[in-house]
Amino acid sequence: MIEQIVKRDGRRAPFEIEKIANAIFGAAQASGGQDYEMARGLADQVEKLLEKTAGDQIPTVEQIQDTVEKVLIESGHARTAKKYILYRNERTRVREMNTRLMKVYEDLTFQSSLENDVKRENANIDGDTAMGTMLKYGSEGAKQFYEMFILDPEHARAHREGDIHIHDLDFLTLTTTCCQIDLLKLFSGGFSTGHGFLREPNDIRSYAALACIAIQSNQNDQHGGQSVPNFDYSMAPGVRKTFRKLFRDNLAKALEVFGADDNNEVDAKTLTERIERETGKWACLAGGNGYDEAMAAALGETLDEQTVQKCLRFARKYADKETRKATYQAMEALVHNLNTMHSRAGAQIPFSSLNYGTDTSPEGRLAIEQLLLATEAGLGNGETPIFPIHIFKVKEGVNYNEGDPNYDLFKLACRVSAKRMFPNFSFLDAPFNKQYYKPGHPETECAYMGCRTRVIGNRYDPTREIVSGRGNLSFTSINLPRIAIRSHGDIDWFFEDLDRKIDLVIDQLLARFRIQSAKKVRNYPFLMGEGVWIDSDKLGPDDTVGEVLKHGTLTMGFIGLAETLKALIGKHHGESDEAQNLGLEIVSHMRERMDQAGEKYGLNFSLIATPAEGLSGRFVKIDRQRFGVIEGVTDRDYYTNSFHVPVYYPIGAFEKIAREAPYHEMTNGGHISYIELDGDPTQNLEAFEAVVRAMKEAGIGYGAINHPIDRDPVCGYTGIIGETCPRCGRREGEGVPLSKLQKLGLYKHLNSTTLGYHGDPAEEADRQPNTLQIVKD
Amino acid sequence: MQQDQLIGEGVGFERIRRITGYLVGTLDRFNNAKRAEEHDRVKHDVSCCSLEEEHTA
Ligand SMILES: [Zn+2]
């Protein structure tokens, strides 16, 4: 008589024969059986056999299950046995996954991010904070849940084993990647954040502040980044409103000072209203629209000519000066906000990107100029802003050549980028971008998500090939080097297997899209509820979003073209023309397959040069375990980013640009090329600009220049710091005598919170918070 | 106020680098693979002479 059993965790529990009978009956039912008495009889046999085999020992759960299998098979219940074994295996897998998940949780809980790579998977989430860790618990738990219960087992296996990588898997059932926000449409008439209604903004400060709030609110509805595709055009009306108001205010001041006694009742406000009504114009930055003349005539009704001119000169001079200042402060506050505001339960700064450079109106130009200047100045203590990502849109006839209306801003963009690594540069004249460009329609100017995602073409609705209100839905990357390793140099086999992986990715993207499509507007209170996503304003809260999501992109990515070529023919595309030709063949094949899928399903399938932060180490780790260390393929801790020439390979800047440019045209879902510059590029702006121009001429779509930016928080020096700081002379970790800092004029207060450099006191005094009119509804 | 007091002991330098499009404040928030990648990066020469040499490669 068995009385006790040993559970998996080592504890003892009473032996219950009914549990065995129930398990057998369950397996029998699954194969069509109905006879509980027979199950009970089999359970009795199990107990008898156990008594024989276990002897004096208390049987374990595993022993009992082995015995059940044995009894079922030997008594001729083969089908029931098979079901029982399947069920048992499934339970084992779930248990192992639970154990694995608990191990992940344990490491997240008790290891710092220095020790734990999972916590550093995304460099912009601080894995050491409470909210950052909570986010990782959720994310890791969600991934395992989807793997067990949601994903097609074939997709789950391919992801688990590293044939493909399903990006943002933790959000599989929740939302889509990113969106390009049309701020002007959003601002028109005001909008609601879910916590209060915001009126249509009335000056540049509130335009900038609301831009931040829109980015933050939308970020909470999606798992990727947020981009403003035409930031200059979006801010220009704010500048216009600010100038109009400041012109009126300063006219009032001028009348107060210069007007005669009996002119005091002349109210600048009434006059302004009258002239605006009569001319249909506002006072504007550039002047010359007839407003000033009409105002002069009206003032002339009561004032002499000389006083009239004096008042107008005064109003214009100070309106101009104060508008510039207000715009600078608005842009400074925006940069500051985008570096400090948090989203997603406080653990992450919104991934924000601003595209600009082509608005040639005086107001748009002022916004661009002041944003660049604020970025150049840096944050409060001169730190380099991490966000937003700036993308300067380069366009012939607009800002590329001497004589173009925004050429000065292009030069300024180069100068700021040489100091702060932003802006990056996008090229609207690249043929694949130019094909969408319609002058006078900023929504047809190709924009980029900072990380590189590109959404403009539209197979689903070719009449809407625009950037605004659209974004990526999800993307999945292929482990190209593995296919190459497994091909053993057989190029035909490589392409055959690549096609099989592409089929799998298409299938998986469609499966995810079906889940996304079933969501409702109310699942995305801002993105859909406020009509940010294209056509979502035509839907009600309980409508599903599937149809409007079709404007988004379903995207396949790839990693490690360089290692792939090494594995296939022994050379990568930076070192051999043969490899380059094969590389182009591979990538253009992937693009063709995406075009075909788009044709077949009527959806926007696209190919992206994967931005592989979390992925660069994962694939190579698995592949090294499976295939060993292969020189030039698995011998480093990362696979090279997308189509890039390997970072370790010495190559001239112009040659690198020429090698990578052709891939930009093929990767319609997004791309970027980097050049690493040596030294401090602010000392060599010609070289910096030459690289940008070379990118444009080579047909690159989106490029950026990397250079080291170091900063000493003690003295505030920003530039390149080797062993010692060029300004205060200290080494890392060393102290500097207080007297020395005071001599350099860099030290204000003596306590720990105000240690070190504190910026320019005069500028600090000018800073103003963004005030918002929030009306509770 | 003591004039010989030392300021900034134990304070490191900040080194800002770019990974996959985003700037990151210090290298220790990079994951291991990206750290290795950043470590391996070589600079790209912009002078014309080196350009010609590259073409012969
Ligand atoms: Zn210093």
Task: Find the domain containing B47 and state its range.
Answer: 17-56
Q: Is residue B32 part of a domain?
A: yes
Q: Is residue B1 part of a domain?
A: no
Q: Are A451 and B31 a contacting pair at CB < 8 A?
A: no
pLDDT the model gives residue A761: 41
Q: Are B30 and A450 a contacting pair at CB < 8 A?
A: no
Q: Are B6 and A756 a contacting pair at CB < 8 A?
A: no
Q: Is residue B7 part of a domain?
A: no
Q: What distance in Å separates the CA atoms of residue A548 and residue A513, rounded to the nearest whole number?
A: 12
- Nearest Cα residue in chain A from B50: A652
Q: How many CB atoms lie within 10 A of CB A86?
A: 12
pLDDT the model gives residue B26: 59
pLDDT the model gives residue B28: 56
Q: How far apart are the CA of A207 and the centre of ligand 1, in A?
A: 37
Q: How far apart are the CA of A369 and the centre of ligand 1, in A?
A: 29
Q: What distance in Å separates the CA atoms of residue A253 and residue A413, rounded to the nearest whole number?
A: 37
- Per CB-CB distance under 8 Å, the chain A contacts of B51 are 652, 654-655
pLDDT the model gives residue A306: 94
Is A733 part of the contact surface with chain B (CB cutoff 8 Å)?
yes
Q: Which of A90, A218, A204, A199 is nearest to A149 (CA)?
A: A90
Blockwise average pLDDT, block size 10, chain A, 777 residues? 84 90 89 88 92 86 90 89 84 78 84 70 66 84 87 90 94 94 93 83 96 92 93 98 96 86 68 95 95 95 93 96 97 92 63 96 97 92 88 98 97 96 97 97 95 95 97 97 97 98 98 96 93 95 96 97 98 97 98 98 97 82 96 93 94 95 98 91 92 97 92 84 90 88 68 42 40 32
- Per CB-CB distance under 8 Å, the chain A contacts of B37 are 616, 636-638, 641, 647
pLDDT the model gives residue A345: 53
CATH number at A151-177+453-669? 3.20.70.20
Q: Is residue B34 part of a domain?
A: yes
Q: What distance in Å separates the CA atoms of residue A430 and residue A426, rounded to the nearest whole number?
A: 9
Q: What distance in Å separates the CA atoms of residue A509 and residue A159, rounded to the nearest whole number?
A: 13
Q: Are B23 and A422 a contacting pair at CB < 8 A?
A: yes
Q: Which of A276, A285, A208 is nearest to A240 (CA)?
A: A285
Q: Which of A222, A218, A228 is nearest to A531 (CA)?
A: A218
Q: How many Cα neighbours within 13 Å face the side chain of A77?
A: 26
Label residue B25 by pLDDT band (50, 70, 90).
Answer: low
Q: Are B7 and A737 a contacting pair at CB < 8 A?
A: yes
pLDDT the model gives residue B53: 36
Is A493 part of the contact surface with chain B (CB cutoff 8 Å)?
no
Q: How many CB atoms lie within 10 A of CB A460?
A: 17
Calculate the CA dihedral of residues A96, A102, A107, A109 and round it to 10 degrees: 180
The region, left, alpha or beta by phi > 0 then psi within -120 to 50, assigned to residue A439 is beta
pLDDT the model gives residue A264: 57
DSSP E strand stretches across A59-163 = none
Q: How far apart are the CA of A733 and the centre of ligand 1, in A?
A: 11
Question: Pairing state of beta strands A424-427 and A389-394?
Answer: parallel
Q: Roughly how many angstroms between the first and final C-alpha of chain A, as a whole number? A: 72
- Per CB-CB distance under 8 Å, the chain A contacts of B40 are 636, 647-648
Residue B10 CB-density burial (10 A; 0-12 exposed, 13-18 middle, 19+ buried): exposed
Q: What is the average pLDDT value for chain B, to the nearest integer?
A: 69
pLDDT the model gives residue A439: 94
In A339-378, the residues whose Cβ lies within 8 Å of chain B are 351
Q: Are B7 and A113 a contacting pair at CB < 8 A?
A: no
CB A164 within 8 A of CB A460: no
Q: Are A710 and B31 a contacting pair at CB < 8 A?
A: no
Q: What distance in Å separates the CA atoms of residue A427 and residue A400, rounded to the nearest whole number?
A: 10
Residue ranges covered by each domain of chain A:
4-89, 151-177+453-669, 234-330
**Facing residue for B44 by CB, picked from A114, A656, A714:** A656
HEC per residue, A468-524: CCCCEEEEEEEEHHHHHHHHCCCHHHHHHHHHHHHHHHHHHHHHHHHHHHCCEHHHC
How many CB pairs lie under 8 A apart between chains A and B?
191
Q: Are A617 and B33 a contacting pair at CB < 8 A?
A: yes
Q: What distance in Å separates the CA atoms of residue A556 and residue A478, rounded to the nearest whole number?
A: 8
Q: What is the pTM of this model?
A: 0.84
Q: Are A616 and B37 a contacting pair at CB < 8 A?
A: yes
Q: Work out whether the CA dihedral A621, A627, A633, A635 comes out positive or negative.
A: positive
pLDDT the model gives residue A760: 41
pLDDT the model gives residue A776: 32
Q: Is residue B52 part of a domain?
A: yes
> Apex CA A414: angle with CA A242 and CA A678, to 5°?
145
Distance from CA of B45 to the nearest CA of A (A): 5
pLDDT the model gives residue A147: 85
Residues, CB-to-ion distance under 5 Å, ligand 1: A 712, 715, 717, 725, 727-728
One-letter amino acid for residue A381 of the chain: N
Q: Is residue B45 part of a domain?
A: yes
Domain count, chain B: 1
Mutate to test the interface with A, among B4, B45, B47, B56 (most CBs of A within 10 A): B45
Q: Work out whether the CA dihedral B19, B24, B27, B29 comes out positive or negative.
A: negative
Label residue B49 by pLDDT band (50, 70, 90).
Answer: very low
Number of H helices and E strands in chain A, helices first, is: 25, 19
Alpha helices in A341-401 (DSSP H): 362-377
pLDDT the model gives residue A82: 86
